[in-house]
Structure 1
Amino acid sequence: MGQPIKILVLDYFKMPFFYKKFDVLKEFSFERTTSLHKCFIHLATKKPDIMLLPFIANENDPEQDLVTIAKTNKIPFIVINSDATQDMVVKSVRDGALDYILTSIDPGKFLTKISNILAKHGKIPPSHEEVEQIRLEESMTGIEKILTVLEKAKEVKAMPYTVARVVSLCSDPGSSAADIAKPIKTDAALSSSILKHSNSVAKYRGAPKVQTLKNAIVRIGLQETKETCMVHAVYQLFDKKDKTFGFDRYQFWIHSLATGIICKFLAKKVGYARLDSALLSGVLHDLGKMIMDDYFNAEYDKIIRIAATQKKILFHVENEILDTNHSFIGGKIAENWRFPDTITYAIKNHHDYARCFPDGGTTFNLATIVFVSNYLAKAMMLGSGSDFFVTPVPDAVWSKLGFSQTIPEPFLAAVRRELQDYFSLLKIPKLPSTAHPEPANKDMRILVLSNSQVANVYVRIYLSNNNYKYTVAGIAGIPESDYDLIIYDFIEELQPVEMEFMIKAATERKNSPAIFIHSGVNDILVIQKIHKSTKSLRAPLDMFSFDQIIKSYDPKNRQFTEVESDRTEEEEKETEE
């Protein structure tokens, strides 16, 4: 047996009794301290194999220096904390943590989790191989590996016969409710879902309770029967247990369902005939991520880590590492399931700007609807596909959807409400609230200044969905009111007249802290220096960073607490001078 694995623990939670349980183990050596100073000394002199650190909330916390030293010396670390919100976990992923463990964890499970993490990252030999992992030759290219996995996935991820039969019957105009009920009866869980959906209080309030499958199908109709069967089937096909830290499957399903629901609403708004295809395309748009996580776990772990720590778009990192991406893989799975070409095309191309907007956004195809819905779900902060970036779309798209001037609250409320229904239907344990989130700084007054014809829709979606009070203005004029926070949305280089206007606006409100969203335009430095407190975010906008900055703003003291910003070192120096 080799040397024991040295684990350094910064134990702010004072749990000596917990770590004492592992003293008898020869394969691990725990060094525990409650002193940050001693932790630095130990890190410098003994170089542990791995560290357990508390959650680090702010960039200026002294514990952040531990993370910096750990990264420099390539010492992996795990966060151990008394509680875990989504924000905490995402920040820990971005800091480079290998995992996030709660202090309430059972000692046995703790040891298993630590062992699995160490094995996954090559610190100890693996105790066993993952059942679903496919052996791939080292000499294979990325695309050869993908095609091998897709061939295997045909067997493992086949659409259940019952669901395939139901979908076929629902597409046959000669089928009756009784015909469709027959195959559904063979699947108890699916039968339960259909009955539950037909008795939804939100949709059928006051109607008598349906007792039979036949009547349930009649009530909800063939389209919703097909939708329910497909969503139920896909959800059941995949393991719910997280495999890659940073790819949270619970958050993935929130995002996927939200995207599908938004797809259906947008399809109806633009007159797209097949609403069932819209919903399914949205729910399945990120299906390839599940395949990659299941069968390429080591590679996907690397992809998630690079995208998170370097703040890169996940789609681009997938292409860099595997020569392909989740859209291509998802499209291939849709082909295997013999989905209609329109759905396959939408899944395969939902990140392809040229194919989604062939005429500048004047007309909508199904891929267009999925593209836009994906980013609207991100702007509403509904779950996560491990990527929070939103890409601008042509102004014509927002005009056609009616989002150019105002964000319709009924639309936002309907999305949240239907998402709640689907979570209940699929028996997903935690339900996202349908009520408005209540921001801590809800009473602050926000001004959104833009030099675009359509002020940033994603920003306005976020502010509306979180119940913030805001005003939008362009160079035509700004209301005289005082504002607690100004958001500058610079889509394009400022023209001289715009620059003059923006400088005047900033000077008149120099005591108001500001957030700058820009595409790298140089003019922002001039305006940033006018304001006493600023944060900067580059396009494409990272909604998680934007969310953290908004939450960190204290309108009483008119300042931000320390959170991440995309500002470069040059911008920081320029602003300080």
Structure 2
Amino acid sequence: MKKKIIPGVFGGGNSGPLLLIFSPRERVRDILTVGLIQCNYQVIQANSSSQATIKASQMLPKLVIADLSCDNPKDILIAERLQKSQRTRHISTLLITTKVPNPLVQKVTAEMLDQIRDADHGKLSTMGYPFAFSEFLAKIESLVLKTEPASDKNPPNDQNRIIAEHLFDPSIPVDRKMQNIGKSLHKNWGFPFTVVKAMDIIESDVGCTLELSKCISTDPAVSSTILKIANTVQYARRHGRITDIKEAVVRLGFRETRSIMACMSLIDLSPEVYRNRGFGRREFWLHSLTVGLIAEKICIDCYMQRPELAFIAGLLHDFGKIPLDNDFDSVFPRLLDRTMGDVCAFYEAEDVLMGFTHADLGYYLTSNWNFPPSVTMAIMNHHDPERILKITSANDKIIQEAVYVGNLLAKALGLGHSCDEILEEIPAEMLKDLQMGSGPDDKLFSHIIKQLRILCSYLNLQLRELKNEEQKPDGNESDVVVVYNDRAIYHPMIVALRNNGFNVVVTNQIPGDTPGHKRVVISIPEPGAPLDINIYGDEREVNRGETLKIFLVNMEHYRELRHGITDANLILMDRRTFDVRLLLHTLDIFFERITLPTNAIQ
């Protein structure tokens, strides 16, 4: 039998757990990989600390093997960041150090060992370099189980295998590719009738509680859940138990009932068993729910007549990813491998490799299922702010802007996870349209977290503990200063940084120095404008090394300048492929510590 080949995974046909090997030395990576493959492990490689950060966060290996025996002691902070992140804290770590470890490595390792308090934390072990492979193998076996649980996922049929191969064939028209996907889905599963009917009721001017209750009654699973929720303590109170669907809809409310019904039906279409490695369904739906809730709240604040359409559009904005993962086994790993390797947005990898994106596929499928145009267009455009800003219909424009903003804020908040963590700035015109002034406020985030807790409890979606503290007010003693250009913009990295515990000041001017205080200045110049790098030239020698300067630019305009920079504390990052994981990793290395919010769960 031919062994399964998974792009980016060595030994993809093996049954052992997935391991990540990080080493700056190619020879070390390759020798260890060959040995581990022969021992039935699956292996992914990273040649830099930044690449290791992205691959560990996305692929969630059982074990990270970090080679710190080169002149790279600060890379120990990768392991500490993984341990302290909610998403990756369960990953075990094996540190390969020199026989006499660097003081920083010793200090951080001791702190990490002290933090391992329960079964939720991965194990931690160290070993000195050089070592015998048998010793190395014994260490790994003490940290992870040798075999992975067997998957219940059915192997793809021959027809789907052919369709998957054709998706990467540039000679086949995009329309035919999506038609083939649609035909395959029609044979395997159909979109839930209850959701489609609910859309008709919501869209109709005469939609009412009676019609919605009749729609729910046609689906036994949805009916029983709606009744169960209506009789919970939160809703029942002194009104007694009810058994009638119409009464349940009245008690819950039209909008709440619709949300629960749609979420139930959609999540049942894509159980965790279908997922490919690196694409967990629980976190995917948490992300989608968060986008839907943010989009709906924004539309409510803009006094939209039907904010529930924004909720459905947000919930479905990434739906095109589901069939690519459910039915075509080889497609998703290849797309993820390209996304991680190029550090680009997932939709860009799709467009390069297949000629279309999950947004295009989501639009195609929901249009065929007769969803309202305002929903289908929001799905299609949720990565295209320029197209959104050209829309002439005020209502459609608000819905699409709300979904676009919701997607970015959900990523910045770290609520759920999808296929990348690329953050783009929000155009000033959108902020004005959505009545958001200079950006979202704490009231929006408080509302979203509250609603997310409620929905997740109904849907049996496990949600990590969320504590919503107000953001620290801007002050002088900041960790990070974000300098906007003269055009009014908003970048969601502000939310991401504050959500990760950094004290952030936002300004339009380069601030003065604070002697003895390490800080990072992130400047976002206008596109195409010359970089005023010399503005830092007057820094006193005593302060050199205390300020890290990061410029967010369109990299194609500054490639030559980038190669000419010799200052280690001056970095150019591409604003088009700005990955928040790389930013956090850069700050960890500069501060030589992991910054966490005060409410972080240890």
- TM-score > 0.5, shorter chain as reference: yes
Q: Secondary structure at the match of 1:447?
A: strand
C-alpha contact 1:327 1:349 (8 A) present in aligned 2: yes
Q: Secondary structure at the match of 2:330?
A: helix
Q: CA deviation at 1:86?
A: 2.8
- Name which of 285, 309, 331 aligns with 2:341: 309
C-alpha contact 1:150 1:329 (8 A) present in aligned 2: no
CA displacement 1:68-105 (0-9 Å, x = unmatched): xxxxxxxxx9753699863479999xxxxxxxx99787
CA displacement 1:149-178 (0-9 Å, x = unmatched): 212213434233344445445555656545
Structure 2 counterpart of 1:457, which letter?
H
Change (3 A) 1:205 1:184: closer
Please give the alpha-carbon distance, in whole angstroms, between the structure 1 residues aligned to 2:2 and 2:308: 58
Q: Secondary structure at the match of 1:389?
A: coil
Q: Secondary structure at the match of 1:148?
A: helix
Please give the alpha-carbon distance, in whole angstroms, between the structure 1 residues aligned to 2:34 and 2:311: 55
Please give the alpha-carbon distance, in whole angstroms, between the structure 2 residues aligned to 1:272 and 1:102: 57
Q: CA deviation at 1:351?
A: 2.0
Change (3 A) 1:79 1:145: same
1:218 aligns with 2:201: no
Please give the alpha-carbon distance, in whole angstroms, between the structure 1 residues aligned to 2:33 and 2:504: 53
C-alpha contact 1:346 1:370 (8 A) present in aligned 2: yes
- Name which of 473, 482, 489 aligns with 2:523: 489
Counterpart in the other structure of 2:424: 391
Q: CA deviation at 1:481?
A: 8.9
Please give the alpha-carbon distance, in whole angstroms, between the structure 2 residues aligned to 1:256 and 1:404: 25
Please give the alpha-carbon distance, in whole angstroms, between the structure 1 residues aligned to 2:540 and 2:303: 43
Please give the alpha-carbon distance, in whole angstroms, between the structure 1 residues aligned to 2:579 and 2:509: 25
1:328 aligns with 2:378: no
1:462 aligns with 2:463: no
Please give the alpha-carbon distance, in whole angstroms, between the structure 1 residues aligned to 2:516 and 2:402: 38
1:80 aligns with 2:63: yes
Counterpart in the other structure of 2:156: 130
Structure 2 counterpart of 1:80, which letter?
L
Gaps of 5+ in 2: 6-13, 18-22, 66-81, 94-139, 595-602
Structure 1 counterpart of 2:308, which letter?
D
1:472 aligns with 2:506: yes
- Name which of 401, 419, 423 aligns with 2:456: 423
Note the aligned Cα RMSD (angstroms).
5.0
Change (3 A) 1:228 1:78: closer
Percent identity between matched residues is 19
Counterpart in the other structure of 1:43: 31
CA displacement 1:7-62 (0-9 Å, x = unmatched): xxxxxxxxxxxxxxxxxxxx9999xxxxx99x95992997775574899999479x
Change (3 A) 1:366 1:44: closer
Change (3 A) 1:319 1:54: closer
1:354 aligns with 2:376: no
Relative contact order (C-alpha < 8 Å, sep 6+): which is higher?
2
Counterpart in the other structure of 1:570: none
C-alpha contact 1:450 1:489 (8 A) present in aligned 2: yes
Please give the alpha-carbon distance, in whole angstroms, between the structure 1 residues aligned to 2:92 and 2:525: 27
Please give the alpha-carbon distance, in whole angstroms, between the structure 1 residues aligned to 2:420 and 2:514: 38
Q: Which moved more, 1:366-375 or 1:41-50?
A: 41-50
Change (3 A) 1:478 1:232: farther
Change (3 A) 1:509 1:189: farther
Alignment of 1:335-374 (within 5 A): 335-358=367-390, 364-374=397-407
Counterpart in the other structure of 1:539: 575
Change (3 A) 1:299 1:490: same
Please give the alpha-carbon distance, in whole angstroms, between the structure 2 residues aligned to 1:307 and 1:463: 23
C-alpha contact 1:163 1:229 (8 A) present in aligned 2: yes
Q: CA deviation at 1:353?
A: 3.2
Please give the alpha-carbon distance, in whole angstroms, between the structure 2 residues aligned to 1:288 and 1:45: 34
Q: CA deviation at 1:382?
A: 1.8
Please give the alpha-carbon distance, in whole angstroms, between the structure 1 residues aligned to 2:552 and 2:239: 55
Please give the alpha-carbon distance, in whole angstroms, between the structure 2 residues aligned to 1:502 and 1:398: 32
Please give the alpha-carbon distance, in whole angstroms, between the structure 2 residues aligned to 1:453 and 1:90: 43
Please give the alpha-carbon distance, in whole angstroms, between the structure 2 residues aligned to 1:208 and 1:161: 32
Q: Secondary structure at the match of 2:481?
A: strand
Change (3 A) 1:479 1:282: farther
Counterpart in the other structure of 2:69: none
C-alpha contact 1:420 1:431 (8 A) present in aligned 2: no
CA displacement 1:241-284 (0-9 Å, x = unmatched): 25322222222111111111111112223333221110000010
Q: CA deviation at 1:432?
A: 5.1
